[in-house]
Amino acid sequence: MALIAMAVWDTAENGRTAYTARTLECLRDTVGGTHHVVVVDNGSCEETKRILHLYSGYVGFTVITLPENIGTARAVNKAWQLRNAGEHCVKMDNDVIIHAKGWADQLEAAIARDQSIGIIGLKRKDCWENPDHPEPFYRSTLEMLPHVAGEPWIVVEKVRHVMGTCQMFNSALLDKIGYLYQPRLYGFDDCLAATRSEVAGFYNCFLPHIDIDHIDTGETAYQGWKEKHSGEDMAAFNSITQAYREGRRPIYEEA
């Protein structure tokens, strides 16, 4: 069983309540009762709070309510603090629909086949990674995982960076790197985690055959807020990444 964490920050201005509702329905229908779903509310609007209150009564769902927005990474970390020894953890966004039951089981199965996997994610349709990409950073490799007769074949796509829409972190990796980190409230936690995974001796990949949809149309004020926030933190991100790679900053981050 995995711990699936989702941070939610819905306001009247960013208009994300409908996305949260659809994502929760997806989790209920695809992993409900088989994995532990922990939703951390970063001080959302009353409409979202009413929805989360309903899910707090479902088997396998836990809701942690915070008075204010502490950021994606710190919110997910609060959920991950509930993980049991040896338990893999998922970080997922509240604007994704996954069209397959048992997707978390398939991610766990991939890690079971190859413990060198640090982060394995589900691949959005707008990701650039592919084996023929002209840019080395986005050029990927398809690899068949170890297999014995009678088992299903599992093919993963090795990449440098797994977009943070839905990622599973190997428990062995978490033992080495601790928790997520980002400079401020939004952005770069997935990129920094991918770097830390590589430095720790793991590799990162997608499980690309599972169909998912990113349902945020990017037409709300939230998109502009994200872009502004990320742009302001780009220099800090580059500096932190270099410090991880050069050993000047420990890859283990506290919650």
Q: Report if residue 127 sits inside a domain.
A: yes
Give how far Cα 217 sits from Cα of 18, 19, 96, 120, 223, Å.
12, 10, 11, 25, 9
Q: Report if residue 232 sits inside a domain.
A: yes
Task: Give me the residues paired with residue 42 across strands.
Answer: 66
Q: Report the predicted TM-score, pTM, of the whole model to 2 decimal places.
A: 0.96
Distance of CA 254 to the CA centre of its chain: 18
Count helices and strands in the chain by DSSP H and E runs? 8, 11
**DSSP, res 15:** T
Instruction: Determine the Cα–Cα distance for residues 138 and 128; give it in Å rounded to an integer.
Output: 6
Give the rounded percent of residues in the chain with a pLDDT score beyond 90. Answer: 90
Q: What is the mean pLDDT of residues 215-219?
A: 86
- Is residue 40 pLDDT above 80, yes or no? yes
Q: Report if residue 252 sits inside a domain.
A: no
Q: Cβ distance 39 to 60 under 8 Å?
A: no
- Is residue 222 pLDDT above 90, yes or no? no
Domain enclosing residue 224, as ranges: 3-246
Give the per-residue pLDDT at 227: 75
Query: Total structural domains in the chain?
Result: 1
Instruction: Determine the Cα–Cα distance for residues 86 and 1; give it in Å rounded to an integer.
Output: 10
Give the per-residue pLDDT at 218: 81
**7: CB partners within 8 A, 6+ apart:** 39, 40, 42, 72, 75, 76, 79, 94
Q: What is the pLDDT of residues 5-27, one digit of tens each?
A: 999 999 999 999 999 999 999 99
Q: What is the pLDDT of residues 110-152, one digit of tens each?
A: 999 999 999 999 999 999 999 999 999 999 999 999 999 999 9
Q: Which residue has the higher pLDDT, 58 or 218?
A: 58
Could you tell me the CATH number of the domain that includes residue 151? 3.90.550.10
Q: What is the pLDDT of residues 180-207, one digit of tens each?
A: 999 988 889 999 999 999 999 999 999 9
Q: Report if residue 159 sits inside a domain.
A: yes
Q: Report if residue 188 sits inside a domain.
A: yes
DSSP for 176-197 reads HHBS---SSSSS-HHHHHHHHH
| Vertex 156: Cα angle to 150 and 161 (nearest 5) | 160
